[in-house]
Every structure is written in structure tokens, then in C-alpha cells.
Chains A and B, each alone.
Chain A
Amino acid sequence: MRIALFVTCFNDALFPGTGRALVRILEDLGHQVTFPPDQTCCGQIHFNTGYRTEACRLLLRFLKVFEDAEVLVAPSASCVAMVREQYPELARDTGDGGLMSGVEAVASRTFELSEFLVGKLGVEDVGASFEGRVVLHPTCHSVRGIDVADAPERLLRAVKRLELAELPNALECCGFGGTFSVKNPDTSLAMLSDKIRDIQDSGADVVTAVDNSCLMHIAGGLRRMGLLGEDAGGIRTMHLAEILVSREGSLS
């Protein structure tokens, strides 16, 4: 299959390793990966903060960049949710029928990595092997936004040597919420500190998720508390894709 990578601006600039891992996973499965170079941002940050006009401009741009793509895969549930859940809403607001059908077409071809692997390709074991006690933070957009169900967990269970820990209060938000984290920092931090306590209680040394935004939030909090790191007692954050490209416990 020819797969267009929708890497997302966030991963492009802050977590390029996740994009690289995604390329490796899909290529190893025998697929052809393309990267439409004109892609920038889907407009989620604007839309979620109320700047709909700007979000709509970025929507138009996104459609142009990806209109020929057979299938789009992204390492971010929240950006996929933007395309699948919010674009139709925005398009409706324009009253432009052509745009609405354009959005429907692209939205139906856009997938988050874990749901794509498990749901579309029927793959659970990608041949990964990872040394560590890992806990999955099921991000809100992956669970309640696009509903990836247990795809991330299935993929993790198939990783050799990986020990999957149980996260207490797993379904509770980590407090990120995009610009919520800067507009309501106190509440956001109260939520984060509870999430970090739950992660500690899980006994894991790696937290993983299908959204680097939430992981960045958790890592930022861990680091401020002096808990981030590979030393004994330290906790690391890793996108699911980066675990899935691991071989024998070392990131290749």
C-alpha cells in the first residue's frame, strides 16, 4: 500500500524520532511511505482555542496537500480526531457543499497509527522487542475521540520482553488539553500531578501513548519533579511507535 505520512507539525518539530519510527514500521511491513512535503499543521491548535477562521484556512490547505493520498497515517490521535471529527464541523460552518464532501473523503482515509496497524492491516506483532516495565496512558482523543479501542494495548502485548503494567485511573485526562495547559495552568498541573502519582504507583519505568502531546506534558512534569530519566527510579516517556521499532531492548 502507498501510505502518505501525516507527520503533524508537533512531531515534525519536537519529536522527529516518532515520525522516523513510523516510517520504519510501515516500510518493514512492506508498504511504500510517502511524505507530502507541503504539509504543515492541521489547524487543531487554532480550532481548539476558538480561532476557527485560521483553522478553516489550514483545513483548505490540508485538503490540497493530501487530496491525492490513498491513505493517510499519523502518529497522533488528536490530529486524526481533528481531521475526522472537527473538519466536518468546520466545513459545515462554511456552507460550502463541495468542501463538505472533500472533507468527508479525506477524513475517511485518515488513520492513527495503532488503529491502522490493528484495524486496517490486521497486524499486532510488528516484530518488536523491548526491555522494560511499560505503562500505557490511553489518551483522551484516542479513546473518546477516534476510539482506537484496545489497538495500542494489543500492539504492546505482542512486543517481546515488554512487561505491561496497569495504570490506575487510566482513563482520566493528564490535564494537557492543548492551550488549556497555558490558559488554566493551575488546574492543568493539579491533574498532571495526580496522573504522575498514578504512573508512579504503576511501577513502570516507561510511559507510552499514541500522542506525543500528552507525553510531552507528562515528561515536562516528571522532569520538573526530578523524576524523568533512565536512572534507577526514573521514568521515561516514549511514543508507541518508538517502542514498536525497538529490537532487543535497544532503539534501532
Chain B
Amino acid sequence: MSRWKRPGAQPSGRPGSKHPSKQPLPTFPSSAPEALSDKQLRENLRHATRAIRAKRAEVVKEVSDWDELTLAARAIKEEALRGLDHYLSDLERAVVRSGGKVHWARDSAEANRIIGDLVGATGTAEVVKVKSITTDEIGLNDALAAKGISAVETDLAELIIQLASEGSSHFLVPAIHKNRTQIRDIFREHLGRPELTDEPEALAEAARVHLREKFLAAEVAISGANFAAADTGTVGVVESEGNGRMCLTLPRVLITLMGIEKVLPSFRDLETFLQLLPRSATGERMNPYTSLWTGVHPGDGPDEFHLVLLDNGRTEVLADPVGRQALHCIRCSACLNICPVYGRVGGHAYHATYPGPIGSILTPQLLGPGVHDSLPFASTLCGACWEVCPVRIEIPRVLLHLRGRAVEGSAGLGQVSGGSGGSGRSTRYGPTQERLIMRLLGLTFRSSNLYRWGLLLARKFLKRRTKDGWVVQLPGYGGGWTTGRDFPGLAEKTFREWWAERGKEDASPIGDQKGGPE
């Protein structure tokens, strides 16, 4: 099943970027059926997302000032992005001052080259990795492999999917689509432990034994970063298993890849995020391991620290006043766990490093128009994601914004109203039939006479297909509806027809039709 393979680096699709490969990715609707038909996957997802969801709700309830915390977090993120240029410069100075090195990467290719060169300089053939979604975004493991360097994932779930040669399906729990029996089978095959049972303790022990050797032998570790404080140059990783702490402290060289949007103005801001993140992510009051480091210190931790700051489309997202809030994301994955779409389809159908609701707004923006336009439509706009987001990203609003961009381009609506909000919109995304239907509907709705005529025609069209008041098969675009649902026939008498007749029969003020303007 090729779909489950690790996708590697995503194409850089920005117009004018160094890699203008405009290859569209497989659409969400075309990928969802395979996942939906996998009963085991559905069951695993249902079980896992519901469990995390309940835990989250429980511990969030305990915090009396949760709403204020989320507002504060949003304000901090807005400030960080507003002053991104100087906060990043501050961060660079602070890191250098404390003995670290800072590298700037415009895109995946640059980041991979920088990290590849850094690892290459040490002469090592194997590096250990802390779970990092950003390294997935740039396809780092494949890039290192091409240089003969193997990257060992040390997070348990990352290790599982790495051994199974699969891609992550969740930010936080990359193997959320697997149950423990499936994990036992992967370990039996790849760790040479045919006697393993599916007891969680046994599985954890097998991973621990396997990884311990890797930690002790590693010369270089690669991590992502949850935060970096601009004022002190402190970088932070939060995790549950302690593998991160091993990677961050044992090897001689530490390389951290961080998206530029992860910078926080000040060390104090951690106070807010360290309260929000664990509760939103794993439903824990506090995560077991929080590692913070500032540069290098002789005799304590790595001798060399490199911070690679990655743009990869982020500054262009920043230019969109509605869409930029996607950059506030702290990768807690609460929106994935609550999303009814993600909860049934899982992460792979998104064909993206960032799946789920946040992925549906972040991915199309990072990749630029034309590459992943189906993602903003992979949502019912139910708003559950927005409700749980600890940094208050208005995901439904951005989804709608991006749908507009996909269909009509990014110009404003000035021409329609006579205002000044831009001009020139050309249709891009959306099936031809849909465009035609939307056009026809729009025309019809522009006049109540046309609307009445349109209804008559529609009634005629549907009448032939209606039996016992229901249509069991709609043609064309509407066929999506009748794949599993019947459609009610149009009413014999519309409300307005009833109202008009009532007005004739009844001369009382109640039947007065002069309420509206002409």
C-alpha cells in the first residue's frame, strides 16, 4: 500500500520560490475511502481520539483561568509574529552569545544541506533524533539517508512507524493508527524479538533495550523545538518518554531544527505555554520531561549546539492577514483529536506532514496555491477545532478564507460592491459542474422572479426522479449525496406560494405582505 509510505519532503510549490514544482498532491476525497474502509484503522482511531479527548476535557476543566490563558497565548503569538524580524535577530544574538551557532534556511533543500553538512563534518554514520514534525516537513531522514547517514527515531511511536516504513498520521502520536498487537508484530519482525507479547510493558522494554545502545553510541542528535525565547536564547522541548532528554544531553553535537514561527519574545512566555500545551496535547497536567537549554556549557550536555531556523513558506503565510494565525500553532493536536473528519479518516489521507484541521489550513498555505487545494474543503466547518484550540486559531474562518482563495484567487471583492478591496478574480479550483451549478444558482438567486422560475424547473427535473417523496439517485454533482442518502423531493407548494395564497384569503394585518422593500 504505497499510500502509507513515508512521504518524504513536501514539494515547495510557492510561485517564485527556488523550487516551483507545482505538482498537485492526491486530493483528500480520493484518499479518504481507503482509510475509511479499513475497519481496524477506524476502530484504533476512534478508541485513541476519544480517550485523549476525554482526558483533555477533564484537565482543562480544572484550570479556572483557562480562557484567559488562551487569550494570553494568542496575544503572545501575535506579538511574536508582528515583531518576528527583530525577535529572530535577538534570538540569534542570544544563542551565539551563549556559545551556540545559528543557521538560516530558506527552504527544505537549504535546511537539509545545512544539517547534512553539519552531520557530515563529524564523520558519523548514525544520528539519534528527538521526535520532530519539522524534520518530517523537510524530509530530513531521506536527505540524510542519501548521504549515507541513518537517522534513528527515538520517540516510541516514531520508532514504530520508522520500523514499519510508514509515515506519521498524527503530530503527537504518530502511530495512533496502530494498536498494540500491530506494534508487537512490527517489533517481532524488526527488532529480532520473536517472543514478544503485546503487553505494553513488554513493548516498551523492547524499545528501551533497542534505543539504549543507540543513545550511548550516538555522536550527533537532531531535535525540533517547541519554543525558543528571544531574550535568553533558550530553546525548549517537551516530551513524555525521556528519549528527548537523552538525545539533548548525551551526544557531543546537538542540531535543532526550528520553524521561525516558534520564537517567543521572552522566557517568561513559557509560563503560559507550559500550562496550555500538556493539557491540550496529552491531557496531562504537566508533561514528564521539559528540557530547556541555552547554548553550550563545558562538561554539561553537548559541546556543539546548532540552531537551524527554517522559513519554508512561513514568511509568505505571514503576509496573509487572515491566514497567518495558522502560524500560532503549538502542535498540541487537540484539534486532530476532536475533529470528526480526522477521527474517522486518520492522518494519512491528508498527504501532508500536518494533518487534521490545523493541517488543512497550514499545509495549503505553506505549499502555496494549486498544490493541496482540496484540504480546506475536508471539513464540515463544525467548529469543534476552534473550540479546543489553546491559542485560539479561528480554524473555520481560515478554512473558508482558503476555500475562497482556491476557487477565486486571493484578490478582494471591491469590484462587486464598488469598494476598494481589489479586483480581478479568476476561478481556479472546483469541478466544472460545481462552478456551473454555483453560477446558475447565483444567477437565479439574484431575482425573486428568476428564483421562482428556477424552482419550477428544478421541481420538474426532480419530479421524474422522485418516488414516494424521495429521490434515490441524483445525477452528476448531486450523485455524491445519493451514494448513501436519499434526497427529499421539492415541496409541492413552496412557503412563498403558501404565503401569497394566504395573503389573498386573509386580509388581516397578519397577512400583510408589504413588510419588505421592493
Which residues of A pack against B, CB within 8 Å?
A: 2, 4, 7, 9, 11-17, 19-20, 23, 27, 32-41, 43, 45-54, 56-58, 60-61, 64-69, 86, 89-91, 93-97, 99, 140-141, 143-145, 171-173, 175-192, 194, 216-217, 219-221, 223-224
Contact = CB atoms under 8 A, between A and B. Distances in A.
A179 B434 contact: yes
B491 A216 contact: no
A180 B379 contact: yes
Contacts of A186: 29, 32-33, 36, 483
B484 A192 contact: yes
A140 B501 CA distance: 35
B495 A19 contact: yes
Contacts of B383: 140-141, 143-145
Contacts of B493: 16
Contacts of B488: 14, 216, 219-220
Contacts of A45: 438, 441
B408 A223 contact: no
Interface of B: 28-29, 32-33, 36, 42, 340-341, 344-345, 376-384, 386-387, 397, 400, 403-408, 412-414, 416-422, 425, 429-430, 434, 438-439, 441-442, 444-448, 451, 455, 458, 470, 472, 477-481, 483-488, 490-491, 493-500, 509-510, 512-518
B481 to A, nearest CB: 5
A188 B386 CA distance: 20
B417 A96 contact: yes
A93 B485 contact: no
A223 B434 CA distance: 26
A72 to B, nearest CB: 10
A67 B448 CA distance: 17
A62 B505 CA distance: 28
Nearest to A12: B495
A61 B420 contact: no
**B387, B425, B493, B495 — most chain A CB neighbours (10 Å):** B495
A180 B377 contact: yes
A140 B383 CA distance: 7
Contact of A16 (B28, B404, B446, B498): B498
Contact of B418 (A68, A96, A145, A185): A96
A61 B443 CA distance: 12
A69 B515 CA distance: 7
Nearest to A195: B340
Nearest to A181: B481
Given A37-B496, A40-B445, A57-B442, A189 B491 contact: no
Nearest to A100: B419
A182 B477 contact: yes
A131 to B, nearest CB: 23
A35 B364 CA distance: 43
A90 B413 contact: yes
Contacts of A86: 400
Contact of A57 (B416, B448, B455): B416
Contacts of A216: 487-488
The main secondary structure of chain A at its interface with chain B is helix
A48 B380 CA distance: 10
A176 to B, nearest CB: 6
Given A60-B416, A67-B517, A49 B448 contact: no
A91 B515 CA distance: 25
B445 A58 contact: yes
A173 B417 contact: no
B416 A35 contact: no
Contact of B382 (A13, A173, A185): A173
A190 B485 CA distance: 12
Contacts of A56: 413, 416-417
A12 B384 contact: no
A52 B413 contact: yes
Given A95-B420, A140-B383, 14 more contacts: A4-B515, A7-B495, A16-B497, A34-B514, A40-B445, A40-B447, A50-B404, A94-B416, A95-B421, A172-B382, A180-B377, A183-B480, A187-B345, A187-B378
Contacts of A95: 412-414, 419-422
Contact of B491 (A14, A50, A89, A190): A14
Nearest to A18: B495
B468 to A, nearest CB: 9
A189 B484 contact: yes
Contacts of B498: 16, 19-20
Given A47-B400, A96-B419, A191-B380, A37 B513 contact: yes
28 contacts: A11-B495, A12-B494, A13-B455, A16-B498, A32-B512, A35-B496, A35-B499, A37-B500, A38-B448, A46-B441, A50-B429, A50-B430, A51-B407, A53-B413, A53-B425, A54-B439, A60-B417, A69-B515, A89-B400, A95-B422, A144-B382, A173-B384, A175-B380, A177-B380, A182-B480, A187-B345, A187-B378, A224-B484
B417 A94 contact: yes
Nearest to B476: A182
A46 B438 contact: yes
Nearest to A96: B419
B380 A173 contact: yes
Contacts of A19: 495, 498-499
B494 A16 contact: yes
A203 to B, nearest CB: 22
B516 A52 contact: no
Nearest to B401: A89
A221 B404 contact: no
A252 B509 CA distance: 22
A36 B451 contact: no
Given A57-B442, A95-B412, A220 B448 contact: no
A4 B513 CA distance: 10
A223 B484 CA distance: 10
A175 B479 CA distance: 16
Contacts of A94: 412-414, 416-417, 419, 421
A184 B419 CA distance: 35
B28 A184 contact: yes
Nearest to B438: A51
B517 A65 contact: yes
Rank and list the top 5 A-B pairs by shortest CB-CB distance, nearest first. Answer: A36-B516, A34-B515, A96-B419, A177-B380, A95-B421
Nearest to A139: B382
B414 to A, nearest CB: 5
A192 B412 CA distance: 36
A198 B377 CA distance: 26
A64 B500 CA distance: 21
A46 B29 CA distance: 20
